[in-house]
């Protein structure tokens, strides 16, 4: 097994985004399920298992708390919230099974966290069924953006350094929470960071995040920070709801959710994959995200799409060899599906885990990806102002019209470079700057 920080040559190193052959609807071809399943067990190890389970489980717990609180404040019933959560986790996980083993890439499906805010906020103006109808239309819009090739064309116009600056800024918010958490629980955070560093430096047969888990969980147990949990050992299966379509829902739900999906979530994942030297199947990722979002809406959820942060986790150094990272993504899909099916059990666990432990584990697993993105953004010395703009906008958390900062970071970064760095842009578009 490779040690921490080792990197193999990417399968697609030196190739452009358009090098994949195309099939129906312009969907990119890949190695295929037979190849992915054949090599699955050879790449199944402690690196891929830990990366596919632990950070995903932790982030699921933290996001579920937000979803439950937001849904309750909006007046949704416990049953509606349960169906909502079950839908987005199950169909997000299934999306990972569809894409990761076929392309043998660390593509992880989840859902849009800002989309929760958009959908919940719309409930003040539209009914629950109209909100779900808006989600169905959003899925159709995303599907069309993929099937028409619009998304793939847009991505080809965005310079890689600007994408890297955006992803570095977006994901930096997670490691920054470690600093905040250290003020509240210095011993827990300190033990987790120390465990991470020990494993990173000296324990080469296991991912560094495992050291953080040992240290953080141990410190939390010694300090008595784990709360009691009354486990509800029930299962929850997604159930078909009754969506209805209205113009108000299309304007307040469909368009914002579609923009978030392609402009934030998919764009982040594409940037992550490109930053590790892979050629992301942009059209397939967009089409499948559209279908999954529509299905999630039919079953009471707000989205199911390729997600940036979780893809970054599976693409991190902790996932082991580059050729085996798709296994971590596939396992992450199982984690999401299991979480969705056992959502009542997971909800009962939410209050028992120290928030500082959640923050430090999620932050540490994304540290290598943040470092790699920032290195990729600035090491070439091109698009300097555009990269800085993308980084600052994304790390600020800037939102406008309900659209998250990832979209604006890329847009503003490209606009700045078009105006101030025309030479870099011309070389990039002509292909002479590869």
Q: What is the DSSP string of 249-279?
A: HIIIIIHHHHHHIIIIIHHHHHHHHHHTT--
pLDDT band at 361 (very low <50, low <70, confident <90, very high): confident
> Whole-angstrom Cα distance, residue 334 to residue 40?
14
pLDDT of 346 > 80? The answer is: no
> Whole-angstrom Cα distance, residue 122 to residue 96?
28
Q: Which helix (H) or strand (E) holds 198?
A: helix 186-202
Q: What is the pLDDT of residue 201?
A: 86
> Whole-angstrom Cα distance, residue 410 to residue 162?
7
Q: What is the pLDDT of residue 1?
A: 41
- Of 12, 9, 30, nearest to 285 by C-alpha is 30
277: alpha, beta or left? (left if phi > 0; alpha if psi -120 to 50): left
CA distances for 192 relative to 187, 217, 243, 352, 356, angstroms: 8, 8, 45, 18, 10
- For 145-169, the pLDDT digits (tens) are 889 888 777 777 778 788 888 878 8
Give the pLDDT mean for 66-79.
Answer: 78
Contact yes or no for 230/348 (Cβ under 8 A): yes
Report the greatest alpha carbon distance in the chain: 62
- Of 421, 411, 370, nearest to 390 by C-alpha is 411
DSSP code per residue over 105-128: S---EE--HHHHHHHHHHTTTS-H
Q: Note the pTM of the prediction, 2 decimals.
A: 0.76
pLDDT of 205 > 80? The answer is: no
Phi/psi of residue 87, nearest 5 degrees: -65, -50
Q: For residue 124, what are its two tokens?
A: 């003040």
- For 74-125, the pLDDT digits (tens) are 788 888 888 898 999 999 999 999 999 999 999 999 888 778 877 887 887 7
Give the pLDDT mean for 32-58.
Answer: 90
Contact yes or no for 268/325 (Cβ under 8 A): no
pLDDT band at 332 (very low <50, low <70, confident <90, very high): very high
């Amino acid at each position: 097994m490779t040690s921490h920080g080792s990197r193999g040559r990417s399968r697609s190193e030196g190739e452009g985004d358009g090098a994949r052959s195309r099939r129906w609807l312009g969907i990119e071809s890949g190695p295929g399920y037979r190849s992915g399943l054949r090599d699955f067990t050879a790449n199944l190890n402690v690196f891929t298992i830990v990366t596919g389970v632990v950070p995903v489980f932790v982030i699921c717990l933290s996001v579920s708390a937000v979803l439950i609180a937001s849904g309750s404040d909006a007046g949704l019933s416990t049953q509606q919230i349960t169906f909502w959560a079950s839908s987005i986790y199950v169909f997000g996980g299934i999306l990972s099974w569809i894409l990761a083993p076929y392309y043998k890439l660390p593509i992880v499906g989840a859902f849009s966290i800002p989309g929760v805010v958009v959908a919940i906020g719309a409930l003040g103006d539209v009914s629950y069924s109209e909100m779900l109808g808006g989600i169905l239309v959003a899925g159709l819009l995303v599907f069309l953006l993929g099937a028409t090739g619009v998304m793939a064309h847009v991505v080809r116009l965005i310079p890689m350094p600007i994408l890297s600056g955006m992803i570095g800024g977006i994901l930096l918010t997670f490691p920054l929470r470690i600093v905040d958490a250290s003020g509240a629980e210095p011993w827990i955070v300190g033990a987790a960071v120390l465990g991470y560093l020990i494993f990173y430096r000296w324990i080469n047969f296991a991912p560094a995040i495992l050291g953080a888990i040992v240290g953080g969980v141990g410190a939390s147990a010694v300090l008595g920070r784990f709360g009691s949990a009354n486990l509800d050992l029930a299962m929850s299966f997604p159930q078909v709801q009754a969506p209805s379509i209205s113009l108000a829902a299309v304007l307040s739900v469909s368009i914002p959710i579609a923009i978030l999906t392609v402009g934030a979530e998919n764009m982040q994942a594409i940037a992550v994959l490109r930053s590790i030297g892979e050629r992301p199947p942009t059209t397939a990722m967009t089409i499948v995200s559209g279908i999954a979002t529509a299905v999630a809406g039919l079953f009471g959820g707000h989205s199911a799409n390729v997600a940036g942060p979780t893809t970054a986790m599976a693409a991190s150094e902790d996932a082991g060899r580059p050729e085996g990272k798709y296994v971590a993504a596939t396992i992450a899909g199982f984690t999401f599906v299991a979480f969705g099916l056992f959502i009542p059990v997971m909800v009962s666990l939410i209050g028992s885990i120290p928030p500082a432990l959640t923050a430090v584990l999620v932050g540490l697993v994304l540290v290598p990806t943040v470092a790699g993105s920032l290195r990729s953004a600035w090491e070439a010395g091109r698009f300097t102002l555009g990269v800085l703009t993308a980084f600052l906008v994304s790390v600020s958390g800037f939102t406008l019209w309900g659209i998250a900062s990832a979209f604006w970071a890329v847009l503003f970064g490209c606009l700045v470079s078009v105006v101030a760095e025309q030479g870099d842009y011309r070389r990039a578009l002509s292909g002479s700057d590869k």
